[in-house]
Amino acid sequence: MQRGFFYALIAYGLWGVLPIYWKALHTVSAAAILGHRMIWSLVVMAAILAMRREWAWIKRIDRKAMLTFTAVAALLIINWYTYIWAVNAGFIVETSLGYFMNPLVNVLLGGIFLGERLRPVQKVAIAIAFSGVAYLTVSYGSLPWIGLTLAFSFGFYGLLKKTAQLNALEGLSLEMALLSLPALAYLLLSGDPASPSLLAGEPLITMLLLGTGVITAIPLLAFAAAARRLTLTSLGLMQYMAPTLQFLLAVFLYGEAFTRDRAIGFALIWMALALYSGESLIRNHQRRAQRRYAAQIAPVVGK
């Protein structure tokens, strides 16, 4: 269990401070960063698969898997591009909003598409979160589209991955394989002035671009290791670490404005998350108590 928490801290901690990495690449366009991230992620994934000698999964890829992961890859492009662009455009607070909303979006999508029955408290939490989004929309005069795009693109990404037959490493490897050729074509042929040459560019920028594969792979592998060792409740609660770190970086390191209107909208969404998380903890505790009780009376009933 302790090792599971350690892996979760690595995963969510790295995801939480990722804005610092993208900020260091602010002279490179979001599209070029995205292209490099896809290519070097594929290189890292291939190296990991080679070390583990895990290639048998490729034989399980059929037409349905290709269609599913093509859609998954498209959602990943939307999510990654929006996030990278928003960080370097000075909207880290809004990116944190998206990942705060994501657990509630997952519950909503599960109820709509997987037939999962929403419990009364979950319905109330979603309604409160919706009121927070509505308040931000009215106060700003427009939808908080960055947060909504991140929350729903990642929500649908998880929904499709839930039905896929590949694990996290295999799935991301296939996604990057599907995206690497278009990414390479963009970097070579687009003429993007903010896409530096790896051979002639600044050494630091070159190193950071090459490192995009590593900073993608490490938290993903740490998350997969944590998921095998922690309960879903523990893992679900720890996921708030990443957007919390992003929020703190935005306000205290990069000086993004956190106005009264933003505070009210965020407070409603945080209230919804507290309600949702509290109910999940209580429900999980009750289930464990019921299992312990059943285990205690089983020998008595069997006599």
* pLDDT given for residue 194 in this prediction: 77
In total, how many domains does the chain have? 1
Mean pLDDT lowest for which of 127-131, 154-158, 271-275, 287-291?
A: 287-291
Whether this prediction's pTM lies above 0.75 is answered by yes
Structural contact between residues 32 and 187, judged by C-beta atoms closer than 8 angstroms:
yes
pLDDT in tens, 126-182: 999 999 999 999 998 889 999 999 999 999 998 898 877 888 888 889 999 999 999
**Which structural domain, as residue segments, surrounds residue 17?**
2-302
* pLDDT given for residue 199 in this prediction: 62
CA distances from 1 to 143, 146, 238, 240, 288 (A): 41, 35, 14, 19, 16
CA distances from 14 to 7, 135, 179, 216, 244 (A): 11, 31, 24, 9, 12
pLDDT in tens, 200-257: 668 899 999 999 999 998 998 888 788 778 776 677 778 899 999 999 999 999 999 9
